[in-house]
Amino acid sequence: MRNESLYRKLAQLAVRRGVNVQPDQPLVVRADVRDHRFVEMVAEEAYKAGAKSVDVRWRDQKITKLDYLNQSEETLADIGEWLHEREQAVHDQKGCYLSVLSDRPGALKDVPANKIRAYQKAYHEKMGDLQAYTANNFGQWCVLGVASKEWAQVVFPELDEEEAFRKLEEVLFDVSGVSEDNDPVEWWKDHDAQLIRHAEKMTAFNFRELHFRNGLGTDLHVPLTENHIWVGGGCTTPAGVYFDPNIPTEEVFCMPHRDKTEGTVVSSRPLSYNGVLIENFTLVFKEGKVVEYHAEKNEEALGTLLGFDEGSSHLGEVALVPHESKISQSGVLFYNTLYDENASCHLALGRCYPENIEGGIEMSEEELLSKGGNTSLQHEDFMFGTADMDIDGITYDGNVIPVFRSGSFVID
Ligand code: ZN
Ligand code: ZN
């Protein structure tokens, strides 16, 4: 295996910092069969760290597509009770979850949208009560990516297969903080400290709202919930285990009030939704709801996303990412939200993160909703940050404080 030592470091990072597997804790890994060699390393590292068990849930992206194309909507929507029981058992044992991404973006574009929607809706309905386990950080979880030839061809279409793959490998290691001459676990400690500092400053300002403007045409007022908390870097479980859910992460994020956003936002990067790329789109908000939308490409998919459920046409997250982040500087469009969201300021349509409001983790869905939280079953990030993004924070007594100028923080 080429780059064996870098993959080994990434596996160690995933286990020790990403999910931070604890002695006698079960680990569930979700991965595509193409990444079996990396997953073996993860399993080795997890057992070294004292994992009780490593349960790998293998997928094959091509078979997933065949399933969608050949199964009826009814079959796709028939989610077995055993799936719920299996996940419940992991939660009962306080397990942790690692997802390894390497899929080809856009691979499901030939699948009728109604089929994907039927499956996802049924899946969320069946498994919805289990989402809190990871959404509220009751147990550790982590998502990271490894390069694949299929993915690399989409990212670097001008290069031949092998060159594209090597280039994607190189970029992914770099943005994940893994290099031949560093200790990625230590690198991540410093990186997180910087994010936490920005988050603490933003929380201390206690802004009533943020006002975003740029040359693309974004002019958006995003009021925040009362008693909001800005979050950046890693998370801590109720048992006190620190972990990094996203490798990489460059964002500090907060909870917009579900019913108060006003104005226009223009996307700055394509959004990959159900394997379809939605490009150059504009959303107009009134009283927190998208009342108008337009996309140059795949507008229908955008309509599906917005119509998913009651909350999916309202915001659930606002995140700030400086334009000088490693991912932004790479100039690469990954066609994958885990990376692309870290290149740019972003918003999420759908579910909020309860950790973004005081006492949120303990709140019922009804309480969260009454405080302005979003309880959609979906959470879709889209990018709208640019190098010329200006952001003002407006306090409760009307003071206007510059937060971003020309795409970067100015609160230091
Ligand atoms: Zn985010
Ligand atoms: Zn998000």
Query: pLDDT tens digits for 201-220?
Result: 999 999 999 999 999 999 99
pLDDT band for 258, please (50, 70, 90 cuts). Answer: very high
In terms of Cα–Cα distance, which of 50, 45, 61 is closest to 25? Answer: 50
Q: How far apart are the CA of 234 and the centre of ligand 2, in A? A: 14
Which numbered ligand comes closest to the C-alpha of 271?
Answer: 2
* C-alpha distance from residue 203 to each of 135, 198, 267, 405 (Å): 21, 9, 26, 19
Q: How far apart are the CA of 14 and the centre of ligand 2, in A? A: 20
Which numbered ligand comes closest to the C-alpha of 249?
Answer: 1
**DSSP helix/strand/coil, 211:** strand
pLDDT at 109: 82
Q: Give the DSSP letter of residue 104.
A: P
Q: What percent of the chain has pLDDT over 90?
A: 87
Residue 162's Cβ-count burial label (10 Å; 0-12, 13-18, 19+) is exposed
Comparing 337 with 300, the larger pLDDT belongs to 300
Q: How far apart are the CA of 409 and the centre of ligand 2, in A? A: 20
The secondary structure element, H or E, covering residue 28 is strand 26-32
Which numbered ligand comes closest to the C-alpha of 381?
Answer: 2
Q: How far apart are the CA of 160 and the centre of ligand 2, in A? A: 33
Model confidence pLDDT, tens digit, residues 149-164: 999 999 999 999 999 9
CATH 3.40.1830.10 residue window(s) in the chain = 4-175
Does 42 score more than 90 pLDDT? yes
Q: How far apart are the CA of 285 and the centre of ligand 1, in A? A: 19
Q: Which residues surround ligand 2, an ion (CB under 5 A)?
A: 317, 348, 381
Q: What percent of the chain has pLDDT over 70?
A: 100
* First vs last C-alpha separation in the chain: 44
Which option is the CATH number for 4-175: 3.40.1830.10, 3.30.390.10, 3.40.50.300, 3.90.1150.10? Answer: 3.40.1830.10
pLDDT at 117: 87
Q: How far apart are the CA of 341 and the centre of ligand 2, in A? A: 8
- φ, ψ dihedrals at 16, nearest 5°: -85, -30
pLDDT at 290: 98
What is the pLDDT of the chain when averaged over all its residues?
A: 95
pLDDT band for 306, please (50, 70, 90 cuts). Answer: very high
Distance CA 216, CA 222 (A): 18
Tally of helices (H runs) and strands (E runs) in the chain: 14, 21
pLDDT at 272: 83
In terms of Cα–Cα distance, which of 323, 345, 324, 328 is closest to 251? Answer: 345
pLDDT band for 57, please (50, 70, 90 cuts). Answer: very high
Residue with tokens 């949208």: 113
Determine the length of the chain.
412
Model confidence pLDDT, tens digit, residues 321-333: 999 888 988 989 8
Does 347 score more than 90 pLDDT? yes
